């Protein structure tokens, strides 16, 4: 008999219909921690792209770098839209949804296969 309680939280992305808004602190924390990681990945890519381009893991590492660059751009756009009048309304919600989808892709699809 197991003493462990069942895990109430799903392991994959949530499928709830009402998504809460991202707090400004999460956006700010992401914008301060992701650019140094992107800089490191960009330097690694620049120095090693010719040597490792045929390796199986290189495609995943390259996709990780490109997706990280895109999510940083989208987070900056979300911060700009969110700082407008009353949170930006529909545009802020649309920008937030784009960020959520890309973050889910990075976390659940690309991250496990990147071998980093």
> Structural domain of residue 64, as residue ranges?
24-113
**Report field, pTM of the whole predicted structure over 0.95:** no
Look at residue 85 and tell me if it is in a domain: yes
Q: Torsions phi, psi of 106, nearest 5? A: -65, -40
In a domain, 17, yes or no: no
Examine residue 58 and state whether it is found in any structural domain, yes or no: yes
**18 occurs within a structural domain:** no
pLDDT of residue 12: 53
Query: What digits encode the pLDDT tens for the residues 3-36?
Result: 544 444 445 555 445 555 667 788 888 888 999 9
User: How confident is the prediction for the chain on average, in pLDDT?
Assistant: 79
Q: Tell me, yes or no, whether 66 lies in a domain.
A: yes
């Amino acid at each position: 008999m197991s003493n462990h309680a069942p895990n109430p939280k799903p392991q994959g992305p949530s499928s709830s219909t009402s998504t809460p808004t991202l707090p400004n602190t999460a956006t700010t924390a992401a914008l301060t921690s992701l650019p140094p990681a992107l800089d490191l990945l960009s330097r690694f890519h620049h120095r090693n792209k010719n040597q490792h381009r045929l390796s199986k893991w290189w495609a995943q590492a390259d996709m990780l770098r490109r997706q990280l660059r895109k999510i940083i751009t989208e987070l900056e756009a979300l911060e700009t839209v969110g700082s407008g009048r009353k949170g930006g309304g529909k545009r802020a919600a649309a920008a937030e949804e784009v960020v959520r989808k890309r973050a889910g892709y990075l976390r659940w699809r690309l991250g496990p296969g990147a071998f980093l």
